[in-house]
Amino acid sequence: MSQVVFLTVEPSSCVDTVFKTHPSWIHPHLTQDIDLVKGRQLRVSALIPKGTCLLIDRPYAIIPVVDNPPENDDLTCSNPACNQRVTRHTERCPCPNACIRDVRWCSSSCREADSVRHGFECTWLKRYSESIRAKWGEYDFGMLWVIVRLLATRQGESQHSKSISESELALKGWKSGWDSISLLCGSSDTWSHERVRSWTVLVKKYLQNSPILPHGLSTDQVLHLICQEEANSFGLYPKETGHFPVPESASPRGEQFAAAVYSTAAMANHSCAPNIVHKPNDQGYMVFTASRDMHPGEECCISYFDLTQHTDLTSRREHLQRSFRFVCRCERCLSDEKLEKIEEPEQSSSEWTAMPMMDIL
């Protein structure tokens, strides 16, 4: 793995730092492919030993997700070039316009460095956050805030050319920036009419192109972005997700402290027997590590949920369907499905008709 260096942020170079000096890092043997059922996927092109780091992906947008921010040690610095946790005991610089308690910087230089990006969201947060939280709840507020941060990054990016490393990755077929966000899977067809209707109301009420949120996209484009965000965003947890087989001593992965959208990490499909563990690093970058030796051509899969929490086939299926809207076609589910079919005794048609009769007797 090549060494990734995180530079200290100079106030005046904030945007440059975010867009140029902290690119994602992708292992040279990680490749992209398409699966007819699952869509885009990640594969390895050569033997990858257990423990190898395969990806360190910069978040395109990230928000803190904590209860009671002033009392919480899991709040993260709002400067995307920093994203470090800011505990109650560290200096916490608030927004000069007092927008919301979830927005804090770890130092005045981080606040200054982030002033342009935060300027994009500040009026929106001040105007709408309280009413969205009261009327629609914390989940929808978080979802809308992620969208606002995606739009803020897009806005900042449009003023800057690609970095050298981004151009090098582009030559190898890895898209970055807004181009890569546009490729994320997800459309209104995946979700129920009721859900799409409610998102349409949210977009029209809170996310229209306006002087408060000057993004230049249409209602349909923002709605599409919500569908993509909902299919691709990651919850950030303090412990690694995806050890399999689940060790007997395994404990849950802990409390979620942030949510983020990553363009390359989002290409990883789910498996209930994953070969990758994932965990955010101290700057909110998503890190993929091989949890066993991987052979050329093998698909790289993560687990979208905590495997300690949903163990049997039914529970895994229900959870994935409810939270991620797809039927899992991983090898473990397919083999568990076969086993279930073998274990279920075949019922002949006479047995079916006999059952109600037994009730009568």
CB 344 within 8 A of CB 209: no
Please report, to the nearest 10 degrees, the dihedral formed by the alpha carbons of residues 338, 35, 188, 229 taken in order.
100
Of 22 and 270, CB closest to ligand SAM:
270
286 binds ligand SAM (CB under 6 A): no
Residue nearest to ligand SAM (CB): 39
Question: Binding residue for ligand SAM (CB under 6 A) from 185, 196, 212, 313?
Answer: 185
Of 105 and 234, CB closest to ligand SAM:
234
Torsion over CA: 206, 210, 216, 218 (sign)? positive
38 binds ligand SAM (CB under 6 A): yes
Of 116 and 185, CB closest to ligand SAM:
185
How many secondary structure helices (H) and strands (E) does the chain include?
A: 11, 13
123 binds ligand SAM (CB under 6 A): no
Apex CA 126: angle with CA 199 and CA 134, to 5°? Answer: 50
CB of 202 to ligand SAM, least distance (A): 21
326 binds ligand SAM (CB under 6 A): yes
- Give residues with Cβ within 8 angstroms of 173, minimum separation 6: 32
Number of Cβ within a 10 Å radius of residue 92 = 17
Question: Binding residue for ligand SAM (CB under 6 A) from 14, 267, 290, 300?
Answer: 267
Q: 3-state class of 177 per DSSP?
A: helix
Question: Binding residue for ligand SAM (CB under 6 A) from 40, 126, 127, 332?
Answer: 40
The span from the CA of 159 to the CA of 150, in Å, is 15
The span from the CA of 34 to the CA of 202, in Å, is 33
330 binds ligand SAM (CB under 6 A): yes
Question: Binding residue for ligand SAM (CB under 6 A) from 39, 238, 254, 297?
Answer: 39
Looking at the DSSP bridge assignments, the partners of residue 208 are none
How many residues contact ligand SAM, by CB under 6 A?
Answer: 18
Which residues contribute to the site for ligand SAM (CB under 6 A)?
Answer: 37-41, 185, 231-232, 266-267, 269-271, 324, 326, 328-330
